[in-house]
Amino acid sequence: MASAGLTRRTFRDRWQAMSSGERRENFWGWLLASPWIIGFVGFTMVPMVASLYLSMTNWDILTSPTFTGLKNYAFIFTRGDPVVLHSFVITTYYSVVSVPLRLVLGLAIALLMNQSVRGIFVFRSIYYLPAVLSGVAVAMMWRWIFNSEFGLLNYVLWALFKIQGPAWLVQRQWVIPSLIIMSLWDVGSAMLIYLAGLQGIPTDLYEAATVDGAGSWKKFWKVTLPMISPVLFFNLVNGVIGALQTFTQAFILTEGGPNNASMFTLLYMYLNAFRWFRMGFASAIAWLLFIYIMILTAIVFRSSVGWVHYEGELRKG
């Protein structure tokens, strides 16, 4: 109570110390920010708090929630439902492979798109176009590509290399590699961010490296990579968060099959909530995924101290 009163007095003192112009600016600032604040509270914060409560209940949507404490979490960690932890393993495997591939491929394409040649903007648009297409439409297209009998991928493998392609979405050992291949389809979004970073590198750094006798490869390692490391860091964080929330591809193409081989965490949460009406259990899975994403993101942020560099630091060094 005392701290709340002190906070009110501090706010009142600061408000009284402001000039009329500062008060007007402060008022308009809060007014213009209020739509986002109201949206965040109403559509993000309140649902999150509600889901935290629901994660400690047994609720089938049709009846009132029954509070059960940490029973849902204990059920998960005692392997009462082994599919939950299995889904985390599958999601992690997919993320560990797909995120680095997307980072490398996006950077490679960005380096190509950074060349000064006639009509380069056309190729930039072509590479970026898949990133704006609907996820469901793209998944349906890839279902035809991966078809084991008349799919384009198996046709190319046989026509060019005389290799009999596998049943991509049916065999356990091939379903996750299939989804990883599919994830490379929309690297255009990462490519565009890389391209902005590449075009922001000062040319005098390359000129200085040339004077020092650096070749193309050394310029890339000593100038390009350090200068775009903040962009690489941004794409890495977004890539990790996005990969751990994979849903559409698996839901449309496999629904978690075959035999739960592609049962991603978000997909299993969805099935529990809206197919089997285990909303409380699904909320517990959602919170575990949220905590897992936070931990991995914190690790990435912690590691950035050693490899993310900024222009001012490089010039000073």
Give the pLDDT band (50/70/90) at residue 313: low
The whole model's pTM is what? 0.88
User: Quick one: pLDDT at residue 70?
Assistant: 94
User: Quick one: pLDDT at residue 274?
Assistant: 94
**What token pair was written down for 183?**
């994830």
* CA distance to 50, 60, 283, per residue, from 53 (Å): 5, 14, 9
- 102 touches 184 (CB < 8 A): yes
Is 311's pLDDT higher than 90? no
Alpha helices, H only, the chain: 2-17, 20-40, 46-54, 71-77, 82-113, 120-128, 135-145, 152-161, 172-183, 188-199, 203-211, 216-219, 225-244, 248-253, 265-270, 279-307, 311-316
User: Quick one: pLDDT at residue 47?
Assistant: 94
Q: Longest C-alpha distance within the chain, in Å?
A: 81
**What token pair was written down for 113?**
């798109």
Cα within 13 Å of Cα(64), Cβ side:
2
- Round to whole Å and give the CA distance between 301 and 304: 5
- 75 touches 159 (CB < 8 A): no
* CA distance to 107, 210, 223, per residue, from 218 (Å): 16, 10, 8
Give the pLDDT band (50/70/90) at residue 107: very high
Q: What is the DSSP string of 54-74?
A: HTTEE--SSS--EE-TTHHHH
Q: What is the CA radius of gyration of the chain?
A: 25
Identify which of 113, 309, 115 has the alpha carbon closest to the alpha carbon of residue 227: 309
Is 3's pLDDT higher than 80? no
User: Quick one: pLDDT at residue 13?
Assistant: 67
Is 144's pLDDT higher than 70? yes
User: Quick one: pLDDT at residue 312?
Assistant: 60
Beta bridge partners, 183, equal: none
> What average pLDDT does the segment 263-285 reach?
96
Is 180's pLDDT higher than 70? yes
Is 5's pLDDT higher than 80? no
Residue 64 has phi, psi (to 5 degrees) of -70, 145
User: Quick one: pLDDT at residue 75?
Assistant: 94
Residue type, 260: N
User: Quick one: pLDDT at residue 68?
Assistant: 94
* Percentage, residues of the chain above pLDDT 70: 92
Give the pLDDT band (50/70/90) at residue 4: low
**What token pair was written down for 107?**
């950077």
User: Quick one: pLDDT at residue 34?
Assistant: 94
pLDDT tens for 237-247 read 999 999 999 99
A 10 A CB-CB count for 51 gives: 17
Is 14's pLDDT higher than 60? yes
Q: Which fold has domain 73-132+186-316?
A: MetI-like fold (1.10.3720)
DSSP-derived secondary structure letter, 261? T
**What token pair was written down for 287?**
């919170």
Tokens 């590691």 correspond to what residue? 303
Q: How does the average pLDDT of the chain come out, rounded?
A: 90
Calculated CA dihedral for residues 306, 310, 312, 315, nearest 10 degrees: 70
- Round to whole Å and give the CA distance between 75 and 309: 44
DSSP-derived secondary structure letter, 127? H
- 256 touches 271 (CB < 8 A): yes
Q: How far is CA 172 from the centre of its chain?
A: 25
User: Quick one: pLDDT at residue 212?
Assistant: 86
pLDDT tens for 230-269 read 999 999 999 999 999 999 999 999 999 999 999 999 999 9
- Round to whole Å and give the CA distance between 270 and 247: 9
User: Quick one: pLDDT at residue 116?
Assistant: 83
pLDDT tens for 30-67 read 899 999 999 999 999 999 999 999 999 999 988 999 99
User: Quick one: pLDDT at residue 7?
Assistant: 57
pLDDT tens for 55-98 read 999 999 889 999 999 999 999 999 889 999 999 999 999 999 99
